[in-house]
Amino acid sequence: MSRQPENRKPATSVDVARLAGVSRATVSHVLNGQTEKFNADTVERVRSAAAELGYVRSTAGRALAMGRSDLVVVVVPYTTFIRLQDVIEVLSSDIAELGFSMVVHFSMSRTKEETPNRLLHLIETLRPAGVVDLGGVSRRELDLIEKTGCAVLPRKLHFDVNHWIGILQARHLHSRGYTELVYAFLSDVRDDPYGRSRSAAVTEFCEAEGLTAPIHVHVPIEPEGAEEALKTVLEQRGRPVGIACFNDEVAVAVVFAAKRLGLSVPGDVAVIGAEGAEIGQAVSPRVTTVKGDVPAAVRHIRYLLAQTFGGPAPSDGIPPQEDAYSILPGETT
């Protein structure tokens, strides 16, 4: 059974119907799971005929008839993700499990994003079942997309993950006694939405605690640039200083820049990273970081997907997203 046909054209529902001795409509119904209202005999005949012919529903025909496709567009923000592979791998698997296919769209820099909008065009031409927003969809785009009737998945970010990460970083530094805080962006061409949220959270924390507003630096991973950036920080803030970094690579760059400058870590310079990259734990000193549990974080989206498209929801309920993030203490704070 399930023998692939040698002939060129793939089997259609007509072929299945003919072989099973029923009508196309019956085939369609049975194969879409409306199996209750048919003779067990009929169902079986249809199924084995389909298997025999290696029949696979054409998404094109299906999409045309239904008005929307089996595609889910995942919008990746214009930022640098250490865990991107993990995230889209898990998402892809969740999406596939619900019978959809994932198409990935990369946002561009806000300033560079042309109009008419690439994302909107993609959605108009693909008519996807839904859009999963990893943080790359602007307010304006969101409105436009929803006007097309397409579901945008984290509908409203009840909870801004990046804001939370920034708060965790600032709170940790503060709890370790640092009162002069700095936010270190990854120096890059990107104008990064994640970095914006995280640094805004640090600023907010300082306000709430009555600390001086944190300064911002852009730190390249490359050694000379990192040293330069760190020197600037010390000129402006003296020491000790606590630096919340965009990610663990920035954190590592800062830590090693400090060492080369003869500064003590965490005595003069305390450093906390984000995203919990494994590499931060392999070096000495191990960097303190905000570790995110990718599967747990993505489970939230999986839940929304299932809810929206009627698939099987994760049995273990939906945990609060805060729980997916925690401080991983290292030797740099």
Partner DNA sequence: TTGTATGCGTTATCAC
Partner DNA sequence: GTGATAACGCATACAA
Q: How far is the CB of 303 from a copy of itself (least distance, A)?
A: 21
Are 218 and 185 in contact by the 8 Å Cβ rule? The answer is yes
Q: Please choose, out of 82-90, 155-163, 172-180, 196-204, the segment that lies near a copy of itself by the rule CB under 8 A.
A: 82-90
Are 232 and 222 in contact by the 8 Å Cβ rule? The answer is no
> Which amino acid type is present at position 301?
I
Distances (CA, A) of 69 to 131, 150, 227: 12, 11, 51
Q: Quick one: which of 64, 157, 208, 213 contacts DNA (CB under 7 A)?
A: 64
Restricted to residues 6-35, the positions that interact with a copy of itself (CB under 8 A) are 6, 8, 10
CA atoms of 307 and 239, how far apart (whole Å): 51
The interface partner of residue 39, options being a copy of itself, DNA, none and the CB cut-off 5 to 8 Å by kind, is DNA
Query: Which positions from 273 to 312 touch a copy of itself by CB under 8 A, shown as an x/- string?
Result: -----xx-xxxx-x--------------------------
Are 326 and 297 in contact by the 8 Å Cβ rule? The answer is no
List for the chain the helix, strand, coil content (%; round to 5): 45, 15, 40
CA atoms of 250 and 245, how far apart (whole Å): 6
Asked if 28 is part of the footprint of DNA (rule: CB under 7 A), the reply reads: yes
Of 190, 186, 173, 175, which is closest to residue 76 (Cα–Cα)?
Answer: 190
Of 153, 159, 155, which is closest to residue 306 (Cα–Cα)?
Answer: 153
Q: Quick one: which of 12, 28, 38, 103 contacts a copy of itself (CB under 8 A)?
A: 103
> Which amino acid type is present at position 316?
D
Cα dihedral 124, 297, 197, 130 in deg (nearest 10):
10
140 or 155, CB closer to a copy of itself? 140
Are 170 and 201 in contact by the 8 Å Cβ rule? The answer is yes
The interface partner of residue 274, options being a copy of itself, DNA, none and the CB cut-off 5 to 8 Å by kind, is none
Hey, how many other C-beta atoms are within 10 angstroms of the C-beta on 156? Answer: 7
Q: How far is the CB of 193 from a copy of itself (least distance, A)?
A: 15
Q: Quick one: which of 4, 39, 111, 315 contacts a copy of itself (CB under 8 A)?
A: 4
Q: Quick one: which of 19, 29, 82, 280 contacts DNA (CB under 7 A)?
A: 29
Asked if 51 is part of the footprint of DNA (rule: CB under 7 A), the reply reads: no
CA atoms of 328 and 289, how far apart (whole Å): 5
64 or 96, CB closer to DNA? 64
Q: Applying CB under 7 A, which residues contact DNA?
A: 9-10, 12-14, 21-26, 28-29, 31-32, 37-39, 41-42, 55-58, 60-62, 64-67
Q: Applying CB under 8 A, which residues contact a copy of itself?
A: 2, 4, 6, 8, 10, 54, 56-61, 63-64, 69-71, 80-81, 84-85, 88-89, 92-93, 96, 101-106, 116, 118, 121-122, 124-127, 144, 147-149, 221-223, 226, 249, 252-253, 256, 259-260, 278-279, 281-284, 286
